[in-house]
Amino acid sequence: MAKKKASEKSRKEDKDLLKNTHIANAGEMIEQRITDTLEINYMPYAMSVILSRAIPEIDGFKPSHRKLLYTMYKMGLLSGGRTKSANIVGQTMRLNPHGDAAIYETMVRLSRGNEALLTPFVDSKGNFGKAYSRDMHYAAARYTEAKLEGICSELFGEIDKDTVDMVDNYDSTMKEPSLLPVTFPSILANVNLGIAVGMASSICSFNLKELCETTIELIKDREHNCIDTMPAPDFVGGGTILCNREEMEEVYRTGRGGIKVRAKYTYDKEFNCIDITEIPPTTTAEAIIDKVIERVKAGSVKEITDIRDETDKNGLKITIDLKRGTDADKLMQKLYRLTPLEDSFSCNFNILVDGYPRVMGVKDILIEWIRFRGRCVFRRVSFELNKAKSRLHLLKGLEKILLDIDKAISIIRNTDEESEVIPNLMIGFGIDEIQAEYVAEIKLRHLNREYILKRLKDIENLEETIKDMTDILSSKARVRKIIIGELNDIIKKYGTDRKSAILYTSEIEDEDTTEEIPDYPVNLFFTKEGYFKKITPLSLRMGGEQKLKETDKIIQSIETTNNNDLLFFTDRNQVYKARVSEFADSKASVLGDYIPAKLEMDEGEQTVYMVLTKQYEGFMLFFFENGKCAKVSLSSYATKTNRKKLIKAYSDKSPLVGMVYMKQEGMVVLETTGGRCLLLDTSAVAAKAMKDTQGVACITLKKNHKLSVVREYVEGEFVKPARYKAKNLPSAGAVISDEDVMKRNNVTFDGFE
């Protein structure tokens, strides 16, 4: 009973609590215009992502980068030993209101060990993973250590001199810099990627030495062409940049475009293998290996016996074992086309300038950075000038005291109360309170001649310094000269050679990228149900009877060589292209390759005719039930690209009866369901430009009659061929004579049925 009363009391208390904590409109549906919803709910989120998360600012950093590096600086990690990464992550949480995983991942990317940045800012120890590996994960923060790289002194050397604004952190408990006073254009020194709301940023990295030299030239001459001193980007993973001068200038001008990067490789003659040691920045070793294996399985790459990842402490290494006799250079040209061993870096130089996102070219970005750096130098000089003036003001007061030390000592000695010392000194020497306070704090040991002379000399030096700094603040040329000096110091301290080689497209445009295909005699067999065999003459002589399905038969048999193209026309008005070399040598004792599966045709699609060609000479003749014939040049099916499938290969307005490929003009036999026959000279049919043309009428059909049979004419097939020849088109043809019927019974013709 007591328990029941206690339970009822508890439920009543819960109800009272809910009444007291009621949230207005909670759970209720209210009407709101969609524009108001976007403005009130969505726009603040979008602006937060753009301004505070995804897009870098002119100093080259996103807020997460800046907060982490500033925390490490305040921890004293610019000098001294490393500390545990977990310690850094924990301290950074005072500035960055995100979880430890996100903060640690940011630090990993900034580290030298991860090899994601051309100019890393974090000196790391331990496993920080690799940017070029998808599966090589970094260790937990408790196992790794880090400190700031030496170049970070160029980020924080002036941060305590009022060079940038200091703002409150997220809970207003401490200050943090809104930007870092970088002494070099770090915005272009590293790869920087970000996806915001409705916009994104993708900035490639440039060699630090070339970048500083270009900035110096731009300061000296605003019309300087940046590409002259900085010919192409530079990536931490190296590789070879395929540089087209016009395209590169477009990227430099607009900040948009693509930069092609190839992997670098060496050929080991002893082991007959290719070692790939540098890859494009947009891919990983695992992605490359997966794609190569896929191509090998598909049969488009046949020269490879094995591929494996041999990456170790010495760096990236992908090894490809080759078949005997393979040309390594030609194989790599093929792999560049078929795999991510050649890939494009998409540029979108979108950065925040004064709180607004702007897509700018390289020159515009550097000009904005020069303005930003100029403001930093101006603020630093102003800070130092004020400090020097304050120091001079104190020394001026000291100078008056030092002229009559005995008087100063007498005033202090004869003053009864300590609080009256400062006022008495002010009255006695005509100095202000600040000067009097400074004088009163001087130690007795300093009241000697040496100290006095040094202080007087300091006054002279300070006056010269103040004069010089005042001149700097009034001269833009002096400010520019300071920036140039700082950039030259960066080049001397941190400048390195390029990692990415440059290959101009003009040097490779004549390069033969045509695949070398072994050429040897073969016999091709194509069956009615879509099976294909490629058999060498030797294998054909040694083999027995052709293996076929019970309902199948061979409809085309061709003697040719391995270096030719094949066109497979289907019942869906499509044609599929392949090479003879793409099919493995077969035997008569097997069914062969099933073409619909081999060429990945549409479900239920069947092949009906095969054409062998190399130069795409001759023409195709398509015959339809309505008596029309379409003549299409075979060159219409040739493509400059490696397209495997062409649609609208022939007309679908009337059912197809048959098709014939002819290299030159000749005779074709047409037969109707009414027993009539026409011997057609193909030269009488005009060729059409459109592949899916309906053609022209060739044979006149009676009601309910259709064209039923089409085949190439065989010399001697008819007793009197002139009987069936047409003088004009369309023609009704002639009824097949009894003599030809009797002769036909003893003749077997090959052709399309």
- Active-site residue among 143, 336, 438, 494? 143
Three-state SS annotation for 292-333: HHHHHHHCCCCCEEEEEECCECCECCEEEEECCCCCHHHHHH
Specify the CATH architecture of the domain 61-181: Alpha-Beta Complex (3.90)
Q: What backbone phi and psi angles, to 5 degrees, belong to 453?
A: -65, -40
Residue 512 burial class via C-beta count within 10 angstroms: exposed 0-12, middle 13-18, buried 19 and up: exposed
Residue 686 burial class via C-beta count within 10 angstroms: exposed 0-12, middle 13-18, buried 19 and up: exposed
CA nearest to 679, candidates 691, 671, 687: 671
* 679, 697 Cβ separation under 8 angstroms: no
Alpha carbon 337 to its chain's center: 16
Give dist(CA 151, CA 526) in Å, integer: 69
Give dist(CA 354, CA 482) in Å, integer: 23
Give dist(CA 370, CA 133) in Å, integer: 36
What is the distance between the terminal CA atoms of the chain, rounded to a whole angstrom? Answer: 97
Alpha carbon 184 to its chain's center: 25
The pLDDT value given to residue 650: 94
Give dist(CA 333, CA 342) in Å, integer: 10
- Alpha helices of 495-645 — where are they, by DSSP H? 537-542, 595-598
- Alpha helices of 529-603 — where are they, by DSSP H? 537-542, 595-598
Half-sphere exposure of 31 (CA within 13 A, CB side): 0
* 107, 85 Cβ separation under 8 angstroms: yes
Tell me which H or E stretch contains 372.
Answer: helix 362-402
Active-site annotation holds for 143: yes
Judged by DSSP in three states, 602 sits in coil
The CB density around residue 453, as the number of other CB atoms within 10 Å, is 11
Give dist(CA 189, CA 499) in Å, integer: 13
Among 1.10.287.470, 1.10.268.10, 1.10.10.10, 1.20.1250.20, what is the CATH number of 368-494?
A: 1.10.268.10
Summarised one tens digit per residue, pLDDT across range 119-144 is 999 999 999 999 999 999 999 999 99
Among 3.20.20.70, 3.40.1050.10, 3.40.50.970, 3.30.1360.40, what is the CATH number of 264-340?
A: 3.30.1360.40
**Angle, helices 362-402/405-414, rounded to nearest 10 degrees:** 70
The pLDDT value given to residue 119: 95
Judged by DSSP in three states, 732 sits in coil
Run means of pLDDT, 10 residues per run, the chain, 753 residues: 54 54 61 80 84 90 95 93 95 89 95 95 95 93 96 94 93 93 96 90 96 96 94 95 92 94 94 94 94 87 92 92 90 92 94 93 96 96 94 86 81 85 87 86 75 79 92 93 96 94 75 62 92 90 84 92 92 92 87 90 91 91 94 87 83 92 91 90 88 90 90 87 86 86 62 39
Give dist(CA 247, CA 267) in Å, integer: 31
The CB density around residue 619, as the number of other CB atoms within 10 Å, is 21
> Would you say the C-alpha torsion 429, 434, 438, 440 has a positive or negative sign?
positive
The pLDDT value given to residue 359: 95
Summarised one tens digit per residue, pLDDT across range 520-555 is 899 999 999 999 999 988 888 887 788 898 899 999
**Angle, helices 328-338/285-298, rounded to nearest 10 degrees:** 100
Answering whether pTM is above 0.75, one says: no
Ramachandran region, residue 661 (left: φ > 0; alpha: ψ -120 to 50; beta: rest): beta
Alpha carbon 17 to its chain's center: 56
Structure tokens at 691: 């592949």
* 206, 365 Cβ separation under 8 angstroms: no
Domain chopping of the chain, boundaries: 61-181, 264-340, 368-494
Give dist(CA 439, CA 396) in Å, integer: 10
Q: Which amino acid, 538?
A: L
Q: Which amino acid, 618?
A: G
Half-sphere exposure of 654 (CA within 13 A, CB side): 19
Give dist(CA 511, CA 128) in Å, integer: 40
Question: Tokens 């022209």 belong to which residue?
Answer: 696
Give dist(CA 170, CA 52) in Å, integer: 12
Structure tokens at 573: 């008005």
The pLDDT value given to residue 58: 95
Structure tokens at 161: 């001199």
Give dist(CA 255, CA 363) in Å, integer: 9
Q: What backbone phi and psi angles, to 5 degrees, belong to 680?
A: -100, 125
DSSP 8-state secondary structure symbol assigned to residue 148: E
Helix count (H) and strand count (E) of the chain? 21, 33
Q: What share of the chain is helix, strand, coil (3-state, %, to 5)?
A: 40, 20, 40
Q: DSSP assignment of 512-527, as one string?
A: ---------EEEEEEE
Ramachandran region, residue 522 (left: φ > 0; alpha: ψ -120 to 50; beta: rest): beta
Q: DSSP assignment of 15-38, as one string?
A: HHHHHHTPPTTTT------HHHHI
Summarised one tens digit per residue, pLDDT across range 61-92 is 999 999 999 999 999 999 889 999 999 999 99
The pLDDT value given to residue 7: 56
Query: How large is the C-alpha radius of gyration of the chain?
Result: 42
The pLDDT value given to residue 19: 52
